[in-house]
């Protein structure tokens, strides 16, 4: 720890989407706390998002174990520091066991549901002016993305995967959207298609690879880390994807973002920002919950969202930009 620094322990989410939505708090602290030095704790999926944070002393990956042993291991790693501030978005009891000047711990409220950005901001009493999601990237990360996207023509970014089949729009419909947006007469005519996802999503590539000639197809599925994906999204003209961490990354990158929703509550998880929109089929979230209360059914709840609705919403969003 640097002499005269202000050590901050920032405990964030396990899931990528939740970590992105709360990332604005980290940005605000970096801006407003002189000499801030960060130790960031995140789940295995979300941790890579924070590798380029300035003033980062340590990035700790918190892997859940039965019986809560992961919290004891974390305490062992951070107990020797006298923290200036502990921000705990997981609502744990850890800060009670650590030396600190101040702490801010998430407490589940019982009122009307609010967007997760606002809910996170309330931890630091910033709900009246919630900081927008923000991901730090280094010059090396930005350069890596630019090298991958060398070429001409606007980029349509698609993320056709999600963490559950119930909220995954059919892959063939993503193909139809790409054809209509990038084809002759489309709003991105002559452009390129960029497909994003993790290593577990490689099965989506064959269905989309033939939409365009090889020189206009950019396959990043399982090939780059989250930060490079985020930097690449900054160069896109439009993003279309299911409710997922990549959707929230796209919105944070400032690209016009169209989120496809079904069994997700867009009051809580809509993409955040002025260039974002949500589209769903004729059923509201509550109607879907009524037929699958525990979301245990292994079936798609997105079948009633037609291609025409998505293309129209995407075209309108592009016209606003």
- How far CA 51 is from CA of 100, 140, 279, 290, in Å, comes to 24, 12, 33, 41
- Same domain for 152 and 56, yes or no, is no
In the prediction, which pLDDT does 113 show? 85
Alpha helices in 93-225, H assignment, sequence order: 116-121, 139-148, 171-182, 205-209
- The whole-angstrom separation of Cα 184 and Cα 204 is 24
Is the Cβ–Cβ distance between 75 and 61 less than 8 Å? no
Cα dihedral sign, 130-142-232-198? negative
**What pLDDT is stored for residue 2 in this prediction?**
57
Q: What is the pTM of this model?
A: 0.95
Asked if residue 133 is part of any domain, the answer here is no
**Residue-range definition of the domain harbouring residue 105:** 6-124
Task: Looking at the structure, tell me whether residues 100 and 168 fall in a common domain.
Answer: no
Output the CA angle 87-92-95, nearest 5 degrees.
55
Q: Does 294 lie in the same domain as 156?
A: yes
Looking at the fold, whether 159 and 297 belong to one and the same domain comes out as yes
pLDDT of residue 110: 67
How many domains is the chain built from? 2
Distance CA 272, CA 180 (A): 26
**For residue 98, which of 85, 115, 114, 113 has the smallest C-alpha distance?**
85
The predicted pLDDT at position 310 comes to 98
Residue ending a domain, choose from 91, 124, 157: 124
Q: Is the dihedral of CA 206, 208, 213, 216 positive or negative?
A: negative
3-state secondary structure of 38: strand
Whether 174 and 303 map to the same domain: the answer is yes
Q: Are 174 and 156 in contact (CB under 8 A)?
A: no
Q: Supply the pLDDT for residue 242.
A: 97
CB-CB contact of 300 with 279 (8 Å) = no
Q: Between the CA of residue 215 and those of 147, 157, 236, what are the distances in Å?
A: 14, 15, 16
Q: Based on the fold, state whether residues 25 and 109 are members of the same structural domain.
A: yes
**Claim to verify: residue 225 and residue 310 sit in the same structural domain:** yes
d(CA 101, CA 197): 41
Q: What string of pLDDT tens digits covers the 321 residues of the chain?
A: 555 799 999 999 999 999 999 999 999 999 999 999 999 999 999 999 999 999 999 999 999 888 788 999 999 999 999 999 999 999 999 999 999 999 999 988 767 789 999 999 999 999 999 999 999 999 999 999 999 999 899 999 999 998 888 899 999 999 999 999 999 999 999 999 999 999 999 999 999 998 988 889 999 999 999 999 999 999 999 999 999 999 999 999 999 999 999 999 999 999 999 999 999 999 999 999 888 887 877 788 999 999 999 999 999 999 996
CA-CA distance, 168 to 165, in Å (whole number)?
5
Q: Give the CA count within 13 Å in the CB-facing half-sphere of 127.
A: 10
The confidence score (pLDDT) of residue 103 equals: 97
Q: Assess whether 48 and 171 both reside in one domain.
A: no
CATH of the domain at 117: 3.40.50.2000
pLDDT on residue 109: 72
- Asked, for residue 302, whether it belongs to a domain, the answer is yes
Instruction: For residue 133, count CB atoms less than 10 angstroms from its CB and return exposed for 0-12, middle for 13-18, buried for 19 or more.
Output: buried
Q: Of 124, 155, 173, which residue sits at a domain end?
A: 124
Domain shared by 167 and 34, yes or no: no
Contact 166, 301 (CB under 8 A): yes
DSSP string, 260-280: EESSS-HHHHSPPSTTEEEEE
- Cα distances from 147 to residues 185, 199, 232, 234, in angstroms, run 29, 21, 10, 13
Same domain, 85 and 182: no
**Cβ burial, residue 293 (10 Å; 0-12/13-18/19+):** exposed
Tell me: do 171 and 83 sit in the same domain: no
């Amino acid at each position: 720890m640097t002499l005269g620094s202000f050590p901050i322990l920032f405990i964030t989410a396990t899931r990528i989407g939740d970590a992105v939505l709360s990332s604005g708090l980290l940005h605000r602290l970096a801006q407003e706390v002189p000499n801030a030095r960060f130790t960031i704790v995140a789940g295995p999926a979300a941790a890579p998002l924070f590798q380029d944070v300035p003033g980062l002393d340590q990035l700790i990956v918190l892997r859940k174990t039965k019986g809560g042993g992961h919290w004891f291991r974390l305490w062992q790693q951070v107990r020797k520091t006298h923290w200036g501030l502990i921000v705990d978005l997981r609502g744990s009891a850890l800060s009670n066991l650590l030396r600190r000047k101040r702490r801010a711990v998430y407490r589940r409220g019982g009122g009307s549901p609010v967007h997760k950005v606002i809910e996170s901001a309330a931890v630091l009493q910033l709900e009246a002016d919630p900081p927008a999601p923000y991901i730090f990237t280094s010059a090396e990360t930005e350069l890596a993305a630019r090298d991958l996207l060398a070429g001409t023509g606007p980029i349509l970014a698609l993320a056709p995967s999600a963490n559950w089949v119930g909220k995954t729009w059919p892959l063939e419909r993503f193909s139809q959207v790409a054809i209509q947006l990038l084809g002759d007469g489309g709003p991105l005519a002559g452009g390129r298609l960029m497909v994003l996802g993790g290593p577990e999503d490689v099965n989506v590539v064959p269905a989309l690879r033939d939409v365009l000639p090889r020189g206009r197809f950019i396959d990043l599925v399982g090939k780059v880390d989250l930060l490079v994906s985020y930097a690449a999204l900054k160069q896109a003209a439009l993003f279309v994807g299911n409710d997922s961490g990549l959707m929230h990354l796209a919105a944070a990158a400032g690209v016009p973002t169209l989120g496809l929703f079904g069994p997700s509550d867009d009051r809580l998880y809509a993409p955040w920002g002025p260039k974002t929109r949500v589209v769903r089929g004729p059923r509201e979230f509550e109607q879907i919950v009524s037929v699958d209360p525990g979301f245990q059914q292994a079936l798609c709840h997105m079948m009633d969202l037609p291609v025409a609705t998505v293309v129209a919403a995407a075209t309108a969003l592009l016209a606003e930009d």
